[in-house]
Amino acid sequence: MKFLSKFFLSVLLLTVTSVSWAACPEGYKSNYKGECVDASGNAPKYLRDFNAASVLFDKEDDGYGTFGEFEYHGRNAHKKYGVNVVNRSDDHPVRHGKQSIRFEVRPGDCGGKPGDSDCETPSERSELNAINKDKVEKDYWYAWSVFFKKGYVIPERVGVHHGQWKQFLTGKPSLDVLTFTIYPNKGLTLEVDKDFDGSTAFPYLLIPKKDLSNQWHDFVVNIKWSPDKDGRIRVWRNGKLLVNHKGSNAKTRDPLSFRFGTYRTMVDRENKPLPTQIVYYDEVMRGKTCEAVNQFSSCEELLNQPLTTADSSPPAKAKESPSTELTTSGDIWVQISQVKRDGTPSDGMVWREIDVTLQNHPLVFFEPHVWFFGGGTEDKPNHVGLQFNYKTLPSIDIPKMKRCGGYKWFAKETSMGSKRVMFPFREKRNVASCLYNALDKNDQAIVKAVIDQIEEIIDQGTEGQPDADYWKKIAKIIKDNGSNVIQ
C-alpha cells in the first residue's frame, strides 16, 4: 500500500510539473516549485516576474509622466516578442531619446486563466495597463507617438484596438468609454462612449488608411472626465485639432484605466489566421498641463488650432447635409457579433450586433432581431426587426414614436438614457412606416441604406459561418418587406 501511495505521488508530481511547464512562456522552464524561470539563466530586463499577480513593465528612457508605471495585461500571451523596450542602436524606430516600446501580436497569441482568457473569446493581444487610474471630474493631458511598421496589414473583418480607456463600474462589468481602433477601408478612428447596449457613437477618423504606416504620428489629448455635459475630449495629431468632443464621456464617477498596444477581438470572424502586426509607441505621457506632456509642437499653437478633419470627408454624421441621400455600394465592410440569445427555444429571441461602413457615413450600428412565441419557432419567427439606437439615429423621438402604436418596446428609452427604435418587418399595420417617418431625413437615409444593402451586409458578415443560410433568410425577409417601413 505504501509502495502504491509513493507511486501515485510520483505520478502526481510529474503531472503538476508538466502542467506548470506548459504554462510557462517561450524561453522559460518550470522549476521544482512549478515557477517559470528563464531557461538560459539570464532574466531579460522586460520581465520581472511572470509568477507575480501583477507583472510590472520596465520603463523606456523618458518615463511616463504621472502615469508612473505600467503592467502587462493579464491576458497577454507569454511570448518574449510580445512587449519589449527596444533601442535606437538596434535600428528600431524611436521618436525621441534612445528607446521606444515595441508590441508584436502573432496568430494565436492569447493568454489568461480559465474564465478570464482571450483564448476563450477568442481574441489576441499584447497590451500594457496603467497602474495609476484616472479620476472623474479631473482634467488630464496625455501624449504619445505611435509608429505602425511598414507592411502593417489591416484585417478584412476585424477591428484592431490600439489603445482604450475603460471604466470599471462598481458591481457591473467594465465599460469601454474611449477606443482607438483601426477599421478596414478607413484607418485609425476614435470611438467615444460605448453604451451598455454595445453601441458606438462618434467615430472620428484620426489617421486615414493611406497615411497609416511607416511614419510617426504624434498625439496630444486633453480630457475632462465627466458623466455630465461638462465633459470634454480634444485630440490633436501632428499639431492639427481633429476632435473637439463635448458632453458626457463617463457613465459614473468610478475611476478609469488607460491601456495601449494591440488588441484583436473576436478573431474567428476572419475565417483565417490574422497576420502578424507590429506597432511601436514612444513618449507615452500623462500630466496636469499641456506643457507637461507635449514635446513636438507649441502648446500655444495647439490651443489656437481650428478644428479640421483627417481627410476630406466629415468625421461624424452631424456634419452632413440633412438632404444628402446615402447610396448603396458594393464596397462595404462588416463586423458582426456571434449570435445572442434570450428566453427559451419556444419563447425567446435571437439577434446579432452589426457594425458596417456605408458610403457617406463612417460607421453604422444596428441589430437584426428575431422573435418567436405562442407557437412560433426560431425557423418560423413571429417577428423580424431592425433595432437602431440614438447614437446612429440621433433624431429618435420617443414620445413621438410612442404615438405610432404597436408594442411598447418598438420605441424605448432605457434607465441609462439610451434611446432605441425597432422597425418591424412583419407588422401588418402602419406602425413601421410611422416610426420611420418620425425620423429626420438624414436618419431616414441611413435606415433606407441598411435595408437596401441588408442582404449584402449579412452575406458578407456571415460568410463561412455554419448558420449563414439562416441569417440570409432573415435578411431576405427584411429586404422583401422593406416597403412596410419605407413608404
**pLDDT tens digits for 415-429?**
556 789 999 987 656
Q: Can you give the C-alpha Rg of the chain in angstroms?
A: 25
> Which tens digits make up the pLDDT trace of 331-386?
567 878 888 888 887 788 999 988 887 766 657 889 999 998 888 888 888 889 99
Q: Which three cell numbers stand for residue 305?
A: 488650432
pLDDT (mean) for 76-99: 91
Bridge partners of 381, per DSSP, are none
- Would you place residue 322 in the very low, low, confident or very high pLDDT band (cuts 50, 70, 90)? very low
pLDDT level of residue 460 (50, 70, 90 thresholds): confident
Q: How far from chain centre, in Å, is Cα 292?
A: 29
pLDDT for the residue 216: 95
Architecture field, domain 45-303: Sandwich (2.60)
Q: How confident is the model at residue 162 (pLDDT cuts 50, 70, 90)?
A: very high
Gap between the Cα atoms of 118 and 353, Å rounded:
20
Find residue 433's DSSP bridge partners.
Answer: none
Beta carbons within 10 angstroms of residue 265's beta carbon: 17
pLDDT value, residue 315: 30
Question: Would you say the C-alpha torsion 260, 231, 229, 315 has a positive or negative sign?
Answer: negative
Q: Identify the residue with better confidence: 268 or 97.
A: 97
Cα-flanking dihedrals φ and ψ of residue 470, to 5°? -60, -50
According to the model, what pLDDT value does residue 61 have?
78
Which residue ranges make up each domain of the chain? Answer: 15-41, 45-303, 320-484
Whose CA is closest to 139, among 53, 63, 225? 225
Considering Cα of 393, then 462, then 195, then 407, what sign does the dihedral take?
Answer: positive
State the pLDDT at residue 212.
Answer: 92
Alpha helices in 324-467 (DSSP H): 398-402, 431-437, 441-461
